[in-house]
């Protein structure tokens, strides 16, 4: 019997395996190198996006505030307080915590009371990074403290890093704590972050002229704004109409991995130089009483109902009343403080239920009418109301 020849099992030779391993290693090396380069590109792209977004946020925040500079100020209150290369301070009725306030730019019920009205002379502060104290006087309108708060932007070294050129942009309102706006900003004590442009007459033509950094800082050298001596060189700061802000940020890396990005933005100041409207004439005549009555709400909780009729000058006289301002204090308080609320004019009668009252406390309320200047009428005071 003839037996079939046996064939060896199919497989790879040692040479074939070595060649396959060499080819596979080359392909993997190329693939890993490509993936690493793509990873670095994505990381740099992400860092760049974060840095640019950081810049855009900082500049947009500043622009929002600066465009309101000078809004709703009494004539005597300066729009710009201090103009330096790394500090800018100005007044604006930017935020209010009073519902229906028709004058402020933004309404935020959570803004603290100390950040929605002007600093008084008794609340004088030293502006950050300067020796300048502000204010020298209290600014009122119709006997009421000005609603325009002081907003300050400044750049100071970042104490949390070892880099000496790492700065933070801060925002401060009145005497409150500074809030960080943006970090990883490159700078030094001599860096010019803020450049200023003022109105100037050249050959009879009014144009914007840049102020050289050597002229900075600018501030009112006469204590009282609009005083007789507050003219000429002492009042150059009043002619500022624009600010150019230049910021350079890093991606937060060091050495060869560091990338720097610079953005420049010119910010107009449209509210500065506009005179307070005087078309409303004299201060409003209130001509009505304010009644305060204790009531019980549907849920059984106590409240105080405030009621009054339209002011004499709302539908008669100069017909210029735009809002009513109400103050509230406990009977033991010595002063009325800041307004408690404001309500727009335009109703045949006015009723407001104050539910934010506490048991065992006696309250008293005060009312004034305001026109578009804004000027306030003499106030009317309610009888005390005790909450059981």
330-376 pLDDT per residue, tens: 999 998 887 888 888 888 999 999 999 999 999 999 999 988 777 88
Q: Mean pLDDT over residues 70-92, rounded?
A: 92
Q: What is the pTM of this model?
A: 0.71
Q: What local confidence, expressed as pLDDT, does residue 10 receive?
A: 62
> Beta partners for 91?
150
Here the tokens at position 318 are 């100069």
- Higher pLDDT residue, 26 or 181? 181
Lowest mean pLDDT segment, chosen from 40-44, 89-93, 177-181 = 40-44
The answer to whether residues 274 and 119 touch, using CB atoms and an 8 Å cutoff, is no
The closest alpha carbon to 173, from 278, 75, 68, belongs to 68
Query: Is residue 317's pLDDT more than 90?
Result: no
Classify strands 106-107 and 95-96 as parallel, antiparallel or unpaired.
Answer: parallel
Instruction: Kindly indicate the confidence band of residue 296, based on its pLDDT and cuts at 50, 70 and 90.
Output: very high
Query: Is residue 84's pLDDT more than 70?
Result: yes
Q: Mean pLDDT over residues 136-142, rounded?
A: 81
Lowest mean pLDDT segment, chosen from 30-34, 191-195, 327-331, 352-356 = 30-34
Q: What is the mean pLDDT of the chain?
A: 86
Query: Is residue 201's pLDDT more than 60?
Result: yes
Query: Is residue 59's pLDDT more than 80?
Result: yes
Query: Is residue 382's pLDDT more than 90?
Result: yes
Instruction: Kindly indicate the confidence band of residue 228, based on its pLDDT and cuts at 50, 70 and 90.
Output: confident
The answer to whether residues 218 and 237 touch, using CB atoms and an 8 Å cutoff, is yes
- Domains of the chain, first to last: 66-268 (no CATH), 291-386 (2.60.40.10)
Q: What local confidence, expressed as pLDDT, does residue 261 receive?
A: 87
Listed ranges 24-33, 98-107, 269-278, 305-314; the one with the highest mean pLDDT: 305-314
């Amino acid at each position: 019997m003839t037996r079939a020849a046996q064939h060896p099992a199919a497989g790879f030779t040692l040479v074939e395996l070595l060649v396959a391993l060499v080819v596979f290693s080359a392909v993997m090396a190329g693939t890993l190198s490509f993936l690493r380069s793509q990873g670095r590109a994505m990381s740099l792209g992400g860092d760049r996006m974060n840095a640019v977004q950081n810049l855009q946020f900082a500049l947009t925040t500043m622009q929002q505030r600066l465009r309101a500079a000078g809004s709703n100020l009494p004539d005597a209150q300066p729009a710009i307080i201090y103009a330096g290369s790394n500090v800018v301070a100005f007044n604006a009725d930017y935020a209010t915590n009073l519902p229906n306030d028709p004058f402020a730019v933004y309404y935020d019920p959570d803004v603290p009371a100390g950040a929605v009205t002007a600093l008084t002379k008794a609340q004088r502060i030293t502006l950050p990074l300067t020796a300048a104290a502000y204010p020298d006087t209290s600014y009122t309108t119709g006997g009421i403290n000005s609603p325009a708060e002081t907003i300050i932007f400044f750049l100071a070294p970042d104490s949390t890093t070892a880099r000496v050129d790492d700065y933070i942009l801060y925002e401060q309102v009145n005497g409150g704590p500074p809030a960080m706006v943006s970090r990883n900003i490159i700078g030094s004590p001599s860096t010019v972050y803020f450049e200023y442009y003022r109105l100037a007459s050249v050959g009879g033509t009014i144009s914007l002229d840049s102020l050289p950094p050597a002229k900075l800082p600018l501030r009112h050298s006469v204590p009282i704004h609009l005083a007789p001596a507050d003219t000429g060189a002492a009042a150059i700061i009043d002619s500022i109409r624009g600010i150019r802000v230049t910021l350079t940020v890093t991606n937060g890396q060091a050495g060869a991995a560091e990338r720097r990005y610079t953005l420049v933005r010119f910010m107009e100041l449209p509210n500065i130089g506009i005179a307070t409207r005087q078309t409303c004439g004299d201060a409003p005549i209130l001509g009505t009483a304010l009644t305060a009555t204790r009531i019980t709400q549907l849920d059984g909780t106590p409240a105080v109902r405030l009621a009054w009729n339209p002011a004499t000058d709302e539908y008669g006289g100069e017909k210029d009343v735009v809002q009513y301002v109400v103050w509230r204090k406990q009977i033991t308080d010595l002063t009325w403080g800041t307004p408690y609320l404001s309500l727009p004019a335009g109703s045949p009668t006015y009723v407001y239920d104050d539910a934010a009252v506490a048991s065992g406390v006696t309250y008293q309320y005060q009312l004034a009418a305001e026109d578009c200047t804004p000027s306030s009428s003499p106030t009317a005071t309610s009888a005390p109301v005790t909450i059981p």
